[in-house]
Structure 1
Amino acid sequence: MRFGLTFFPVLGPGEKPASTYYDECLELARLADGAGYEHVQVVEHYFSSYGGYSPDPVTLLTAIAAATDRIRVTTGAVVPAFTHPIKLAGKLAMLDNLSHGRLDVGFGRAFLPEEFAAFGVPMSESRTRFAQGVELCRRLWTERDVVSDHEWAAFGPVSMLPRPYQQPHPPIFVASTTSAESCAAAGRAGHHLQVVPTVTSREGLQDMLATYRQVRRDAGHDEPPRIQIKYTCYLGEDRARVLEQARRWEHNYIEKMTAAVSSWGATRSADYPGYEQLVAKVAKYDFDKSLADNKVLAGTPEEVGDQVATIAEWFGEDVTLSIQFNPGALPLADARAAVRLFAERVAPRFAAATVPVV
């Protein structure tokens, strides 16, 4: 197994200034770089305290790349539907060059109705724009005189500069929350995968990963797949204090997520089947059950190590855990200590934990 950091800001100005949050992310990224973590991943969201401090992952990842030497920088994920493919492909190619080939590109569809409304993008076009956007970025990175006749992104012929540092292009990941269909499409195309266990059962996620792996093999892609699974981790020697923090900041996350997904109570989209149930699912959140189900990592190094071992049994030893150590407004000292403690006491239990991708 390998391990990386993920940054998903679930906080707003009343809890911590944006500049402070970015400074703390940079410090944790530098620490992770020296401690052997594989990647740093950054989300894309807008407007609210549910991710709103991260409207452009590329900007923060560029700063992280400049402040580090080895660790990979990963979008987790950028949203093609919200950015013209020429602009998106160009920004990502620049970051790949600035980082000297340390970029992994995760693409996602987004799912919050307010974000689609603000960009004037119909949710009914989400799936189409996603597939077309990913393919156009790939073509702009690898081809000359690219022409697109898609109504939402018609252009050409154009030849992109700069070309990516990595050839033929940076590794492509597809983010999926609950859709086995999205996982199958990613496998068929030979892309890598980013998933979250939060709103999916263990069995559901196992089925998604099995589908992905099988379809990828059947499509003849020989390169080993890279699968990133995102978790939040609260770690320390004082178990009672760690669990108190975990309960507080996980409820903060649920509070922020509840507000962000509330419009799904009155929204329906064929591109998002079942998402109308999100409000009810989030309302049923139970921290103790989430901890018991290994949807959140919390406890002493030994306890968290046992959780990781169970996750490896469930989902495969080839997966990479992308871990959030600074949820909400958790004090930086606690996040810093957890990053170190995980690297020193948890990761060594897993043979390939600190082996970088080459």
Structure 2
Amino acid sequence: MRFGLSFLPDCTPETKSPQTYFSDALELSVRAELGGLETIKMTEHYLHHYGGYCPSPLGFLSAVAARTASVRLMTGCVLPVFHHPIQLAAEAAQVDAISGGRLDVGFARAYLPDEFDALGLPMEESTERFRETVRAVLRLWTEEEVSEDTPFFSYRDVTGLPRPTQRPHPPAWGAAVRTPESFTWLGTEGLGLLITPLISPHEFRDHLTLYRDAFHAAHGGTGLRPRVAASLPLVVADTDARAERIAETHLRRYLDVWALAVNAWDRRESTAYRGYSGFGWMLRGLKPTELFTRGGAIVGSPATVVDRIRAFNDHIGGVDQILWQIDFGAMPLAEAGQTLELFCSEVLPEVKSL
């Protein structure tokens, strides 16, 4: 199993300024590479304190590339529904070149109503727009004189530049959360799967089976294999009690900021997002202790964390990579750095053979 860091800004100006947030994130990225972690991931969002500091994961990853030598750089995720495929394919290929071929590109459909409303896009067409844009990006990376004619964009005889450094293109991933059809589609398309198990790994086990079955049905015998990466909050401290105190404070902030971003779902329904109505109520009702007692976060002393990682991997049915959120809830650099140091020195040697 491989490990890395997953960033999603959840700061307010009172808890961390944008300058401090990115200074901390870049410092943690450098330390992660030195400690033996393999991936740095960043997510795109707008308008809200949940993610809104980072409208451009590719911009952040370009800065990480300049400070590191070998760590993989992953968008987790860019939101294709808000971008033209020519622009997205070109900007990603540029970062692939800057980094010497270290980029992985994760795509997500987007799900925050305020983002769609402000950018003037209907949520009901998000699935088709997402899929058409992802397919178009992959064509622009691998083909020349590409033509497209969709309800969302059209062009003729386009050859994208720069060409990707990695061939045939950077590894591509897609995020799925609730909709079974999303897991099936990602498997059929041959993309890696990105998940964030919010409460319990058990809730994702059947969905991972859907993904893997669809992948094998479409790509069996080709040499391609399904890939699953999970993002989880992590706190490691010298004792379980200390880790849990840190986690409770910052998980509460993390959940509160997230709940504010999804408030619109308390009064909204969409046929494209079945099961999302009331999302804010659900987040506000969650207790931080529920996350780390049921497996939605990993918290404890090094020995406890080793046991909980093994239990998580068993309960979910196995993942290829875990990307840790170690700075959630606007956590200070000192505490996030402690988690990273203890994980790399005392936990990683015990779990990397999973």
The TM-score range, normalised by the shorter chain, is over 0.9
User: Which residue of 2 is the match for residue 90 of structure 1?
Assistant: 90
Contact 1:232/1:323 (8 A) holds in 2: yes
CA RMSD in angstroms, aligned pairs only: 1.3
Amino acid at match of 2:349: P
Deviation at 1:190, TM superposition (A): 0.9
What pairs with 1:283-294 in structure 2 (closer than 5 Å)? 283-294=284-295
The answer as to 2:111 corresponding to 1:111 is: yes
Match of 2:62, SS state, is helix
Separation of aligned partners in 2, 1:266 and 1:305: 41
Separation of aligned partners in 1, 2:123 and 2:231: 25
User: Which residue of 2 is the match for residue 278 of structure 1?
Assistant: 279
Amino acid at match of 2:208: L
Separation of aligned partners in 2, 1:176 and 1:141: 23
Match of 1:52, SS state, is coil
The farther-off stretch of 145-154 and 311-320 is 311-320
The answer as to 2:66 corresponding to 1:66 is: yes
Contact 2:41/2:74 (8 A) holds in 1: yes
Amino acid at match of 2:300: G
Separation of aligned partners in 2, 1:112 and 1:351: 35
Contact 1:40/1:73 (8 A) holds in 2: yes
Deviation at 1:317, TM superposition (A): 4.2
Amino acid at match of 1:130: F
Contact 1:261/1:278 (8 A) holds in 2: yes
Count of residue pairs the alignment pairs up? 352
Deviation at 1:223, TM superposition (A): 2.1
User: Which residue of 2 is the match for residue 13 of structure 1?
Assistant: 13
Separation of aligned partners in 2, 1:206 and 1:319: 14
User: Which residue of 2 is the match for residue 298 of structure 1?
Assistant: 299
Contact 1:312/1:319 (8 A) holds in 2: no
The answer as to 2:208 corresponding to 1:209 is: yes
Deviation at 1:228, TM superposition (A): 0.7
Separation of aligned partners in 2, 1:297 and 1:305: 9
Separation of aligned partners in 2, 1:150 and 1:335: 45
Separation of aligned partners in 2, 1:276 and 1:181: 18
Separation of aligned partners in 2, 1:293 and 1:318: 17
In structure 1, list runs of 5 or more residues that go unmatched.
Answer: 354-358
The answer as to 2:324 corresponding to 1:323 is: yes
Contact 2:201/2:295 (8 A) holds in 1: no
User: Which residue of 2 is the match for residue 46 of structure 1?
Assistant: 46
Separation of aligned partners in 2, 1:34 and 1:112: 35
The TM-score normalised by the length of structure 1 is: 0.95
User: Which residue of 1 is the match for residue 185 of structure 2?
Assistant: 185
Separation of aligned partners in 1, 2:130 and 2:151: 14
Separation of aligned partners in 1, 2:168 and 2:282: 41
CA pair 165-352 structure 1, distance change in 2 beyond 3 A: farther
What pairs with 1:1-358 in structure 2 (closer than 5 Å)? 1-198=1-198, 201-221=200-220, 222-352=223-353
Separation of aligned partners in 2, 1:153 and 1:97: 26
CA pair 291-351 structure 1, distance change in 2 beyond 3 A: closer
Separation of aligned partners in 2, 1:350 and 1:254: 28
The TM-score normalised by the length of structure 2 is: 0.96
CA pair 151-318 structure 1, distance change in 2 beyond 3 A: closer
Seq. identity, %: 36
Contact 1:12/1:48 (8 A) holds in 2: no
Match of 1:13, SS state, is coil
Separation of aligned partners in 1, 2:148 and 2:335: 49
Contact 1:97/1:165 (8 A) holds in 2: yes
Match of 2:278, SS state, is helix
In structure 2, list runs of 5 or more residues that go unmatched.
Answer: none
Separation of aligned partners in 1, 2:229 and 2:169: 19
Q: What's the CA shift string for 1:300-355, capped at 9, x where partnerless? A: 111111110101212244421110111122111111121121011111112447xx
